[in-house]
Structure 1
Amino acid sequence: MNKLFFGKKVTTPLLYIALFFSALLSTQAMSAQAEATVSKNIVGVNEVFQLTVAVDDSVNTNSLDLAPLSPDFAYGRPSVSSGTSMINGVISRNTSWTVALAATKVGTLTIPAFQIGSSKTEPITITVLKSSKQTQAANANQSSISVEGINDKSTIYVGESINYRVRILIGEQMDQASLAPPYGDGLTATQVGQDAQNEVVQNGRRYIVITRNYQITADKPGNITLHGAKFSGSVIKGSRGFGSTLTMPVDKTAKNIELTIKAKPSNYKGLWLPTSDLQLNQVWQPSVNGKTTVDAKVGEPITRILTLRIKNIAQSNMPNISLTYPTSVRSYDEKPEYSEGNGYTTMTLKQVIIPRETGKIELPAVSINWWNTQQEKQQTTKVDGLTLNVTVDPNASSTITPPALTTPPVVTPPNNANVNNAHSNVAQHDYWQWATAVLALLWLITLGLLIKARKAQPVSNTEIVLQSGTTNVEQALKQAITKRETVQIQTYYHQWKQQQHEKLSANPELAQQLDNAVAEIMASTYSQDRQQWNDKRIMQLLDKAQQLKATASRTSSLSDLDPK
């Protein structure tokens, strides 16, 4: 079938292609966004500042009309730039105008919205003062760095947790930035997840936003002050090029929060679990499809998976699920797995249960007592147990031929099938006894070898802890570098540097190189133009420091063996 398209006859496939690209172009045009930003929003009369208008599309360079700036602002000729880039196969285009402005009168003035094609910028409010001294004082009062702490609850019980979110806005180029966690008497703060970083524009100024989440757990009752998180660093003032710069220290602390911590009720019984929501679920493998009684075979494993989700509770306060199973089964518990998200701490426990004997076996139910902090009453959450009707697996028992204890020695051989059926339980019982004995013997041999190795190489507990801690901090530092988490890099680097103080003191050149590398990372991250930094250099320096540490350790060990 042929159709007319722009006055020409085309086939149906070509028509679909043309319509597709037409729709694609119109969608891109509709999705273009325009944004206006200024270098300052508090200025003096006739003080020159910078206005930037950008649109994420390729448009005519004459599309920006600056006439609405008159008569409140004097402005020069704009500098126009445009570009096209491709990232992961996605093409992006942008056009921007940069123009110098100066306010012509005192007061509160507005840079109007600019219409560029189908896109429109937001207006910007400018405060214009008489003198430069007033301008400097006003800019000092309006800090370009702010720290905000937000909590979701102010009244909790002992053992309960709250979520505390720190939000940092940075509008200046910074160096040596770090964040200290909130603290309070009888409160424990634990960081949750990784830092999040993005950008926002507020009243025409661009800010880098860093968000970090903490879990605050109460350890004792009373009215307690939660002191806000503290952000420290140095603001770099002056030229961004090769000119002189001035570094000014800055400390910003979030507001304190008053918390009311309630004590455990005197009539509560059982393990203390204060929370607004507790969920306990279980899954059986193979699936029981909601049945309370199922058939099973001797030696055939059954898997029980328990999942416990508790809101606003630390992982250290999660209960241990310990079940007592009958001696007619063997049970094996895997190590619990923990995860956190949406204010919940989740524990998953997997158990493998193997019947040892035939007959009816009752697997116990699981019940957990907890305190509902919303309704302020004790509740019990329970999942049912399971009844097993256990029989012998005919395929497994056919391979076992126990001796015929009661059959006299005659020429005619006994009926093997009858013997197997008569003694199947005995054979299964003997099998598990032998397996248990072999496992116990292997365990004793392994224990003896470990004790012998420990006597041959005595190492104090203090040394083990120090080595483990050093390794953990170094690994955490390298992971932060790999993930490009700059605030964590700063924190872990200071911890690592303290642990390596003696080694770095002996090599001041390497220590200075490491300090410079971390300083470059922080400066690149918190500058407004945000250049990419190279992680290979600091990794190489850390590896070099590790080699020096290993050499020093070997030298120390050899000196201990010197008879002098």
Structure 2
Amino acid sequence: MQFPSFLRYPLYRFVILTLLLLAGSSSALGEVSARLSRSAISADETVSLTIQIKGENEAKPNLSVLDTQFEILGRSQQQSISVINGNVSRSRGLNLTLLPKTTGNLEIPPIPVGKEATAPLRLQVNEGMGESNGVPGSDVFIELELSETSAYLQQEIVLTLRLFMGEGVRGEQLSDPKSNLPDTVIQRISETQYKTQRAGENYQVVERRYAVFAYQSGQLKLDGVRFSGRGGGRGGSIYDLLNSPFGNQKVDRHIYRAVSDAVNIDIKPIPANFNARHWLPARNLQLVETGLTQNNQQIAGKPLTRTIMLFADGLTSAQLPAIDMSLPEGVKQYPDRPEMKDNLSGAGITGSRQNKVTLVAANPGDYELPAIEVPWWNTETDRMETARLPARNIEVLGGTALVPPPLSKRSGSSTTAGETTPAAANLPVASESTDNPLTHWLIWVLALGWITTLVVWRMSRHRSKQQAAVPAAIDPAEAVRRQSIEQAIETLEGAYHEQDRDAARDAWLRWGELRWPEKAPGNLNRLSHRCPKRVAEAILALDLTFYSQDERSNWVKFDPSVLRKKSVLSTNMIREQQTALTPLNP
């Protein structure tokens, strides 16, 4: 075989070999290309970008160059291998769903894939509809409905939100309403989904209800609720955010954005003719009692449990006040920690507060528990009303009332005049004379034995005291009180461990109620006045967090176990301080 004459020169052979190597290298690197599904879209629409990679290029596309002008909503991959006449070729593709961030004539820059890159592409993005609320018949629209357009301070207002989505629209995000007034509480109480028709169109509806409580009078404005979703793909369940990996990823999706109109509520101050201590605006309020009847009998020193429940429609349990129970002298109370519950429904919130109190009367007698009254404001009739429990009577019996009385001495030693017992009739009458010497000796022997017995008993009693002191019997009421104080300290320790300031405040007040059941402190400030310096500083540090905007954690440094380890000392110090200085606002 003869080669061409120019191949005899080394320079020509080197050039030809280099060209062959470059061709092989280009084939090994492969080809990279990109294409758009459309060249023009609106700002509310998406576009599909497909990146095709052929050959042995295993590098991943660098998509960070798209972040400036586009948001990547979805992506999928596909790969294929083909064999033709023994030649193996590979191809893989990446499909991206892009949402433009700006409008105008946008350029999709070259996307690096290893040492290769795609060619730049042009996309025209026109103005979209933007955020606006539709009307019945549109693909998406929102309705807001208020139970009250004018309400009192702290009165419950039920806000109903309805999101209507047409067929093929899938929701991605639905915001909650926001208030322009500070200290306004907005709590979601229910959410339902159903289907309906409006203006001849079928809609999937998401209905949410909120309980709104304004703590500042004035004009309350609830900003519009915002919604974002997409459409154009296959139908699915509401708020289905997962794209099917087996679906057609090239289908363009339409982006829907809607914002509801803002609503305004006139918040009125507390009426001038309401003169009660606690402001309670509610649709209904009731007091219920268990454990006592109209007339009760009880043994002195034995505890009696009284349970009082306060229910209110339109108020949370946190808004319900502690129930004040004034007791007659001679009756002590040992309250348990109140049980607070909130029942949420589409109609609103029903708050409940249950107070259990252990009553102990040490002395027998007749006691009257005064009536309990809770004034409140009926928001439906717009007038002041009073929930009332009638007075209760307790008859306390003596501790020995059930023990049979002992026999009288007279009945054991003599009989009534004119009566003769059979035994006495047959007994011989002893001589009253004591001149018999035997009688004298018998008296001295018996007296000496009695004195010896008394001395031995005194010595054994003194010895038993030295060996072990017998603890004094604890009054049942005091035992109940000590157990309740221990539970309050355990609750306080848990609140400090969890750094839950609301639970810590409740636990402190509970502890204060047990320390001073006759006149419990109503807040942390009053409680601090009755405590020694170290405890008072810890209470004031916690109280400061409820009136400062700064989130401070210094209050958690206090160790509530001090109340248990130095309980006797703390009690004495507290009593001494309370005796020396009576607070101005007890």
* Bucket of the pairwise TM-score, normalised by the shorter protein: 0.3 to 0.5
Q: Identify the structure with the greater helix proportion.
A: 1
TM-score by length of 2: 0.42
TM-score by length of 1: 0.43
